[in-house]
Structures are given as C-alpha cells and as structure tokens.
Amino acid sequence: MKRAALALLAFLGVACIAAAIAVPTYLVPKLKVVPLDLDITSVATSVPDDGDAGNRFPATILDRCSITASRAATLDVHLTQQRRSVIIDPSNADQATLQSGQTLQIDRTRDAKGKESEPSMAGADGERKCDDGLLNATVDRVSVSRKTAAPNGAVSSLQVDAVPEGGNVEDGSVKIDDRQGFQYKFGFDVTKRDYYYYDTTTRQDAIAKFVDEKTINGVKTYHFRADVPERDLSDLPNPQGEATTGTILNMPAKWWGIRGKGVKSSDIITMHRYGKAVRNVYVEPTTGTIIFGEEEQEQYFRSPDQSDDVPAAVAKYQLTALKGKFAWDDQTVSQQAERADKYLGQLRLGGVIVPIILGILGVVLLLAWAVLVWLGRRRDKDDPEPTDTEPAVGPTPNGGDGSDAAEPEQTTVFPATAAAAPYEQVAAEDTTVLPPLPDDSSTQAIPAYETPDGGQSAWQEPPTEAFPSPYARPQQGAESPADVTDTEAFRAPSDGFSPYVTDPTRPMPDFDRYRREE
C-alpha cells in the first residue's frame, strides 16, 4: 500500500508538469482562432472635424431630390452608420465566413434655407423616395482563415442590390477578387508594422501604417492609419456588369453650376463619382480585436477627363456627394473592450495561470515523493527490521521432507595427512571434516573384503555390510585386516609392515588392539 501511494504521488507530479507544458503549447493555439460564435455590432455616428459637440449637422450629402430640380443642392446632415457581423456557412475548423450588413442612415437634415427635418425609411419592400432616410446599404460576405483572420478567397462578395425575400443573394451581389486586407478583425499577435486593410466603399486594399500606442477603456491598443486612395466608383460594376446607379451623372452645366470660358449653360457635362477615405483603427495587439474605429469619408463628383482639351472650369469642378467623419459610439467601444478582455482572460488563463498552477503543484508532489522516499530509506538504515528465515525444503538425513527442525550435523574426523605421515604424528587440528555417515537404514552396501585366494574374510559376513564407523570395535575373534598381507583395502609393501596407507578412503585398522591381544 505504501509503495502504491508513493507511485501515485510520483505519477501525479509528473502528470501535472507534463500538463503545464502541454496546456500553453496545445490549448492556447486552439484559443487563438476566429471564434465561430462571433457577433459584432458597431455603431458609428458623424462627428464634427473641429470637435464642436454642439454641431448637430456635422456631415454633408447631395440632396437626391435636387436631381430633378433646376440646380444641384446639398444638405447638412447627421448620419449613423450601423454594422453587424456574424458567422455564417460555410464555416468549419479551418475557416470562418463572416456576413456583415452595413447601413448608412440619415437622422436629420438641414437645407440651405435652414429648414430641418427627420426623414423616415420605407419598408424593405416599399418604394423608396428621394428623401428616404436610408442613404446606402450593403451586405459583405467574406471567408477568412481562423488562424490568421485574413481572407482565404473561398467566399468574397458584396451585395449592392436588394434581393426579394426567398431570392438568390448571388443575383444582387458582385464577386470581389484578390481581397487581402483585414476588415472586421485583425489577426492575433499584431506587431508594429504595416498591414493591409480592406475598404468596401472603394473595393480595394489600403496599407494601414502603425502610428502609436493608446490606452482605450483600460485596454492597450495599437493605432493604425490607412489612407484609402481616390477611386472612380463608376468603375465598380453592379451585378449586371454596369456602373452602379448614382455613380455617373449627365447634367447640364447650369445644373452643375459651372460657368466659365468654353462652357455653355446648356452643355451636357458628364461627371463621375469618386471616393477616398482615411481610416483609423485601434487594435488590441494580442487578440486582434478592434476596440475603436474612426474614419473620414469623402465622395464627390468631378470630370473623369482631366486633359487640356477640357475647359478649366469643368476640370476643376467638384460637387460633394458625401463628406463626414465617423466615430464609434461609447457603447460600441465599451462592448469591444469587454470582448477583448474576455479573450485576453482566456489566453492568460490557458497560457500563464493554469501552467503556473500545474507546474507548482507538480513540483510540490515530486518533492513530497522524494522526501517520503528519503525518510523511508533512512528509517530502514537506522532501524532495520528483522528478517524471517524460512527453513530449507528438501530431504533430510533422517528421510524427512524438510518441514521438521534440522538436526545438528554429525561429523567424523580423520587425519588430514594420513597418507603422508604416521598416524601418531598427525596433529589434532590437522583434520578434514567429512559429512556425517548415514544411518543403517540409508547406507549403501559394499562387497566384503576378499582374500588373496578369492575367498571372503571371516569378519565380513554376511556378503554385504554397512560401512562401519572407523572407530567401531570389531567382533570377538574377528581376524584383523592387518594380518592379511595382500588385501583389497591394504597392500603391504615389499619391505614389510608400513604405517603408510595406499588408499586413504579405507578405514584405518586399530593396530593397538591387535597388539594387546597378542
């Protein structure tokens, strides 16, 4: 039980340390992906360039109702830009497809005479008039890599026309090729370098340059600025492959308000709509979450022909179609800051807190295991426990099975150098210890001594006899083997009696006894 507890302690310690290494290397990369439950709603309103909070009409738009009037007119307005981005199919472990619906609404207007109004919006299936409150609406769909958040080209389209309920959205959408820039979210681990940022208005990638660091709602952000270059919006086709409505106007010079050399008031002058922008985004660098967004949009009509053949009054003319600065409202900023904090908390938990806790716990468990092992070895060394000796199992000299207590061994002592020295000269300590002789019931019979003439010696009856003890007294009247001049056990030398024995394994006769009997 003690060994099992120690093994479990060591296993848990190693497992905790292994988990401390595996969590940041395996779990954190799993967290650093575009979530499939992404749902971002941002609201931006027009704000004055000079920061005058009392300006209720900080933006300017073309009065669409003036298209049918005698002269072009503009309106001072307050605008609200709303955008919601959600995940749609096809989305999987490798990619996420975002659908972002964006609207630009007119909250209130003021004309050149100072008249104010609050336009309303018609229903989805209703007829829109020139004074409708909806200025523009698009639906952007793009597939991005979940690891990098960059477009992967699987889905990339922009819906610019309304589609009846149940209709095919492809009929009202245009495909966008070669989209590269970030748009709704930057990638993870943003650094202080240039990135591509995609602009849906001009349908082009712009370079977003790092500007500085700024803390917004307690979140550190990187500020990037993207200068979107001017582009002729009439070059951006609609789903039918034609110029989008409202990007080309053919109106008399009088309507445009153009006067000058070489220009008649009745001359039809063609103007194209151009667009450019300056976008500022503030990105939390670890998660790529955009905390705050601000942009300056400018769209205007001007002549596409800037050659010397065009009258100067026409070449230099511009009519504002849309001009305004938009900034995310406080609620959107707070919402994005909370989202970034949530992502950061998950990454911090999986990448720092959990590994530290597991690492410390693993070290503590291993130290406890090492201390317990050391204490156990020290206790065994200082106070060794007695060991039980099991008796050997096997046959005993008495024929038992080894279960009884072992009897003390009996030994028979013979002179160690009986063949090399006389019997009387052998020291008592110079002996050789032989195993005890078996009892009569377990002895091995050997043939009786034979006389030189082939007969048996009289003292060795019956034919076989147990090996006697070398110190046993012979029977009365038995003939001594010493009187035999040539026996199997002793062979007399040619010079007479000699105490030396040629075969030390035979028992030594008792010479003194036979001398006494004589």
Which residues sit opposite 446 in a β-bridge?
A: 465
- The pLDDT, as a whole number, for residue 384 is 60
Q: Are residues 473 and 504 in the same domain?
A: yes
Q: Is residue 333 part of a domain?
A: no
pLDDT given for residue 387 in this prediction: 54
Contacts of 316 (CB under 8 A, 6+ apart): none
- Which three-class secondary structure string do you get for 318-333? CEEEEEEEEEECHHHH
Same-domain pairing of 155 and 301: yes
Q: Is residue 404 in a domain?
A: no
Q: What is the pLDDT of residue 63?
A: 96
What is the total count of domains within the chain? 3
Contact 247, 275 (CB under 8 A): no
- Residue 302 CA: distances (Å) to CA of 272, 274, 275, 299, 435: 6, 7, 11, 10, 129
How far is Cα 293 from Cα 226, in angstroms, rounded to an integer? 12
**pLDDT in 10s for each residue of the chain, 518 residues:** 677 887 887 888 888 888 878 777 777 777 789 999 889 999 999 999 887 878 999 999 999 999 999 999 999 999 999 999 999 999 999 999 999 999 999 999 999 999 999 999 888 777 889 999 999 999 999 999 999 999 999 999 999 988 887 888 988 999 998 899 999 999 999 999 999 999 999 999 999 999 999 999 999 999 999 999 999 999 999 999 999 989 999 999 999 999 999 999 999 999 999 999 999 999 999 999 999 999 999 999 999 999 999 999 999 999 999 999 999 999 999 999 999 999 888 888 877 888 888 888 888 888 888 888 888 777 777 666 555 555 555 555 455 555 444 455 555 555 554 444 444 454 445 554 555 555 554 445 455 445 455 554 444 455 554 445 555 455 554 455 545 444 444 454 555 545 555 555 556 665 565 555 55
Do residues 107 and 133 both lie within one domain?
A: yes
Spatial distance between the Cα atoms of 355 and 199, rounded to a whole number of angstroms: 41
Question: Residue 462 belongs to what domain range?
Answer: 412-518
Is 504 inside a domain boundary? yes
Q: Are residues 11 and 44 in the same domain?
A: no
Tally of CA atoms within 13 A in the half-sphere of 29 that contains its CB: 5
Which residues have CB under 8 Å from 419's CB, separation 6+? 500, 501, 502, 504
CA dist 308 and 312 (Å) reads: 8
Does 342 reside within a domain? no
- 221 & 253 share domain: yes
Q: Clarify whether residues 193 and 80 are in a common domain.
A: yes
Regarding whether 11 and 50 lie in a shared domain, the answer is no
How high is the pLDDT of residue 355?
Answer: 83
The answer to whether 84 and 41 are in contact (CB under 8 A) is: yes
Q: What is the pLDDT of residue 119?
A: 94
- Same domain for 262 and 182, yes or no, is yes
Alpha helices in 349-455 (DSSP H): 354-382
Asked if residue 169 and residue 279 are part of one domain, the reply reads: yes
Residue 256 lies in a domain: yes
**Contact call for residues 77 and 106 (beta carbons, < 8 A):** yes
The whole-number pLDDT of residue 221 equals: 97
Asked, for residue 393, whether it belongs to a domain, the answer is no
Q: pLDDT value at position 209?
A: 97
Query: By 3-state DSSP, what share of the chain in percent is helix, strand and coil, each rounded to 5?
Result: 25, 30, 45
Say whether both 21 and 132 belong to one domain.
no
What is the model's pTM?
0.69
Backbone torsions φ then ψ of 465, nearest 5 degrees:
-145, 145
Supply angle C-alpha 489, 492, 493, rounded to 5. Answer: 135
Q: What is the pLDDT of residue 493?
A: 53
At a CB cut-off of 8 Å and minimum separation 6, what does 76 contact?
Answer: 57, 59, 60, 109, 110, 111
User: Is 188 part of any domain?
Assistant: yes
3-state DSSP call for residue 472? coil
Instruction: Answer whether residue 261 is part of any domain.
Output: yes
* Claim to verify: residue 139 and residue 186 sit in the same structural domain: yes
Instruction: Tell me: do 18 and 81 sit in the same domain.
Output: no
